[in-house]
Structure 1
């Protein structure tokens, strides 16, 4: 199926992102994990690297180094869990973090991108967030607003995240 870039943000469900990695690999994807800096404390990086056979990326390489295993070479991207901050920055075109840059570039290249949020109801009610979701959808991004349950982050709908990209794979960017 190609390379699926899984972008993970710093939120409770991130500890279980290996579930998405396993589902994607079982579905025929090669997987590259990209983590925001705030996601790193949630992750078992060694375990994810063993599962994927690739390094977890969270920063740009040094100048002059080849772009080995570049996430921009991915066939499709899933951002899960996506935080309030990540969604708002992405929609506003702010790429001040490696993960944001990877996703922004993929959108601009017309790659299928699915974003599954983990945002509490108070933040999801905010007008800037609603606009950000609408703007991303307007660019062809599949955005699913999953209700955050801070008491049960293990209930994150990982299978839905993978299903969202399957919908996205069928998306053809209008010329």
Structure 2
């Protein structure tokens, strides 16, 4: 069974994470859910149900030295939604958040990693965001941003998040290559 680390930041699509977990499980993946601290606060009332759904603790903090790891090793990681802040922290190597630390380390461990941002068009105008997306892509990561992924919406605009693209990219990342 493929172990998927599913990570999410505090953006509206994280509120749909239970359905994404169910879809990933239907594809035969063992899902471990990690969140930024803000996303964990957004989902606070749902955390027990999410732990029951995955059969594992939901994590948003680093474990203490000497504590055993409660998750199996990842075969693939999906970070979605990934906010402006998360993308920039990750690209700059700022690992004060557990999930950002894991994906930063995944580069060196060569764990296939897919990310799909969720930023509005105002944030997307900041040059650091584009530099960060380019930096992450240059590290061999799949960043679903632009025409083949997430296209920024106008501030306040609501539209469906393309979870199907993220899950398809994860599937492609773990599929045997010919």
Q: Same fold (TM over 0.5)?
A: yes
* Structure 1 Cα separation of the partners of residues 63 and 171 of structure 2: 30
SS of structure 2 residue aligned to 1:17? helix
Matches within 5 A, 1:108-127: 108-127=108-127
Structure 1's unaligned 5+ residue stretches are none
Query: Aligned match of 2:56 in 54, 57, 68?
Result: 54
Ranked by relative contact order (alpha carbons within 8 Å, sequence separation 6 or more), the top structure is: 1
* Structure 2 Cα separation of the partners of residues 98 and 171 of structure 1: 29
* Structure 2 Cα separation of the partners of residues 79 and 59 of structure 1: 16
* Structure 1 Cα separation of the partners of residues 3 and 108 of structure 2: 18
Seen in structure 2, the aligned counterparts of structure 1 residues 171 and 93 have a Cα distance that, compared at 3 Å, is: farther
- The number of aligned residues is 169
Aligned residues of 1:23 and 1:159 also touching (Cα < 8 A): no
Aligned residues of 1:84 and 1:117 also touching (Cα < 8 A): yes
Matches within 5 A, 1:33-48: 33-43=33-43, 44-48=46-50
Query: What RMSD over aligned residues (CA atoms) do the two structures have, in Å?
Result: 1.8
SS of structure 2 residue aligned to 1:39? helix
The TM-score with structure 2 as length reference comes to 0.88
Q: Which residue does 1:2 correspond to in 2?
A: 2
Does 2:151 match 1:147?
Answer: yes
SS of structure 2 residue aligned to 1:95? coil
* Structure 1 Cα separation of the partners of residues 117 and 170 of structure 2: 14
The TM-score with structure 1 as length reference comes to 0.89
* Structure 1 Cα separation of the partners of residues 28 and 151 of structure 2: 28
Structure 1 stretches of at least 4 aligned residues deviating more than 2 Å after TM superposition:
147-153, 166-172
